[in-house]
Amino acid sequence: MSVSGLCGVCERAEARHTCRTCGRVVCNDHWNESLAACTPCAEGLGSPDDPADPSARDDPPDGFRID
């Protein structure tokens, strides 16, 4: 059995914080103070999964004009 109170990320260090996003308890090394979230959540929050590459858009070409 694992002892509750260990970091949910590394499972080695003692948990000091509780992530507000996922509820995981994490150690200081896996805690993002500014975001009040664990590092996995903080990485997701810090870099939203939004590919803003205009060349990757899959819109149909504007080539259906009728003269």
Residue 15 lies near Zn ion (rule: CB under 5 A) = no
Question: What are the beta bridge partners of residue 31?
Answer: 38
| Spatial separation of the C-alpha atoms in residues 1 and 61, rounded to whole Å | 59
Read off the amino acid at residue 32.
Answer: N
Nearer to Zn ion, 1 or 5 (CB): 5
DSSP labels for 9-27? Answer: TTSSSBP-EE-TTT--EE-
Considering beta carbons, is residue 3 or 56 the nearer one to Zn ion?
3
Query: Least Å distance between CB 18 and Zn ion?
Result: 9
Interacting residues with Zn ion (CB under 5 A): 7, 9-10, 13, 19, 21-22, 24, 27, 29-30, 38, 41
